[in-house]
Structures are given as C-alpha cells and as structure tokens.
Amino acid sequence: MTIRSVVLGCGSYLPQRVVTNAELASRIETSDDWIVQRTGIRERHVAADGEFTSHLAINAARAALAAADVDPQSIDLIVLGTSTPDNTFPATAVAVQNGLGIHHGAAFDLQAVCSGFVFALATADNFLRSRSFKRALVIGAETFSRILDWNDRTTCVLFGDGAGALILDAQEQGGTSSDRGVLTTHLRSDGRHKSKLYVDGGPSSTQTVGHLRMEGREVFKHAVGMITDVIVDAFDATGMSAETIDWFVPHQANKRIIDASAHKLHIAPEKVVLTVDRHGNTSAASIPLALDVAVKDGRIKKGDVVLLEAMGGGFTWGSALVRW
C-alpha cells in the first residue's frame, strides 16, 4: 500500500471583464488575424480595479471546495502558485487561508511562473505522501494584466487573468499505475535562460514591480523539446504512453506550441484540452482553468488518466500524470 494524492474536486474563477483581440487592435498596432494566426488566442479576461490575485484564488478555492463537497476546515495545507502576489509579503496563500476562514495548518506561495501549478501540485503531493498533511488545496492564480506593458504588442496580447484550484486528499492505494491520484511528477529548471522570459523589476533590484519581457522566438524554440522531455519521463516512470492516457491538459501559452508538442509525442488531437482561445495565457492558472472546463463539460471523468505539463520563465518546466 502507498499514499496517493487523490483529486476530490476542482474549481475556477475568471474576472468578468473580457478583452477581445478587436479591442486590443483599437489600441495598439495589431489585428485579430495576426494574434490568432500566431497564438490561437481570441480573448482574455482582465481583473477589475481593486480585484487582486487573492480574490481570484479565493473564488476558485470556494468552487473547488463545493465541487469536492468538503469542509474548508478539513484543509490543512494550501499551496498557491503565482507570480503576481497581492504583496511582496505576506504570501497571498495566507490571504486565501484567512478568506476561507481557515486558521490552522500551513499556507504558502510557490513561484515557478507558468509552471507554478505543476510545481505546486508536486509540492503538495510530496507533503501528502510523506503524511505531513492530510488534505491540500492547490491553486494557480494570476493577475498578469498588472505586469504587462500595454504598448508592447508582442506580449500584451498573450496574457490574461484567472484562477483555478484542486482539492487533494491523502488516501491509501495499491501502489500501482492503476491507483487514483497523482501517479508521478517531474520538475526541471535552468537559469541560463532567464533573459528570454522575465520581469524587469523587483524589490531587491529596482524597487519596482516592472514589466514582462519576452523573446518569443527563443521561448518557442526551447518549449517543445523541454515539454516532451518531462513527458517522456512521466511515461517511463509509469509505463504509460500517448496511447494509454485519456487527456492531455497542457499549459495554455500558445496553440502552436501545444500542437507541436502533441504532434511530437504522438498524442491524438482529440485528447488535447484547449482553452487558450478563450483565456489567453494565464500563467500558473492556465492548467487548473483548463481542467475545470474539461471536468464541467464531461470530458474528464473519474478514472481517466490526465497528463499535465507546463513551461515558464526561468526556465522552469514540469509534468504530472494524474488518474482522476
């Protein structure tokens, strides 16, 4: 027997305001055709004035708790993946914990940019499997609209705001790949690539928040290889393959990267969950947002094998295989 982190439920939240490509084209030199052709993005959600990352995260957490039908007081661990915290400190996870009325256990943020949710999931999984905690709330939440240069058409068209969450429960399982829950996770980082995707500010360096800067072609060039690397590791660790998984839920950065990765791995297009057209790149929030869409529309069902992957600034990248 072994302990597995079993998914009890998921939830998500998107700000009300929708910004279409047409609206962006009215403000900067771009067009709907240009954006769709290069990214697959048609619209994105943007947080309202006074709406913070913690507000998005709390709403997503409440939706996940309702879907799982569990008492918030049963949560003893909160791990929040975000690159856009409410404050430099304390951790936004602590604001979420307090907002949910939880005053026990541990809550902390995890910063791995667009890989943040996969890193947070792996971290919570390891805590649960070590029996340090019993039930975890794992969240990806971002307000990337706050760190964009809205005059830079190469970056401002790509990103959106949102939050998604999962409830994980430590349960005894048989110790095979037929178990429910998180089956394997694989995380990587390589700081040599910082200049290709970063924010040009921070408390220690500039005492400002800064703006997102990206070398798009360079990111694309590295993305497919890095993504496939950690997915092959996941398949090797579990004996699974592109044929045996039910769903592929990638980080929703760019449709061309997603399509190229699925093609290289021989994952059938009908297994790929795509939300980038509606959400844009919501960084750490993109995978749980996509998961919630596919659960709600009936695609992802109990017992399905779901492959998750992401790559983000740093570079960071990672994968997770989960039996729902």
Do 161 and 240 fall within a single domain? no
Q: Are 220 and 255 in contact (CB under 8 A)?
A: no
Do 117 and 152 fall within a single domain? yes
pLDDT higher than threshold 90 for residue 71: yes
User: Which residue(s) pair with 106 in the sheet?
Assistant: 77
* Residues tagged active-site: 114, 251, 281
Tell if the pTM clears 0.85, that is, is over it: yes
How many domains is the chain built from?
Answer: 2
Average pLDDT, the chain: 97
Please count the CA atoms within 13 angstroms of the CA of 176 that sit on its side-chain side: 2
Do 152 and 210 fall within a single domain? no
- The Cα 264–Cα 274 span in angstroms is 17
pLDDT band at 101; cut points 50, 70, 90:
very high
Do 157 and 190 fall within a single domain? no
pLDDT band at 252; cut points 50, 70, 90:
very high
Residue where one domain finishes, among candidates 127, 155, 173? 173
Residue where one domain finishes, among candidates 138, 173, 208? 173
Task: Summarize the confidence of residues 110-124 as an average pLDDT.
Answer: 98
- The Cα 114–Cα 258 span in angstroms is 14
* Strand spans (E) along the chain: 2-13, 17-20, 43-46, 77-81, 106-110, 135-143, 161-173, 181-189, 197-199, 212-214, 247-250, 305-312, 316-323
**What does the DSSP 8-state code read for residue 113?**
G
Q: Are 165 and 37 in contact (CB under 8 A)?
A: no
Structure tokens at 154: 């190469």
Task: Summarize the confidence of residues 6-24 as an average pLDDT.
Answer: 98
Do 13 and 142 fall within a single domain? yes
Task: Summarize the confidence of residues 229-256 as an average pLDDT.
Answer: 97
Do 207 and 167 fall within a single domain? no
Domain holding 253, by residue range, is: 181-323
pLDDT higher than threshold 90 for residue 224: no
pLDDT higher than threshold 90 for residue 220: no
Does the N-terminal peptide bond of residue 133 adopt cis geometry, omega within 30 degrees of 0? Answer: no
pLDDT higher than threshold 90 for residue 281: yes
Residue where one domain finishes, among candidates 105, 139, 173? 173
Structure tokens at 279: 């959400």
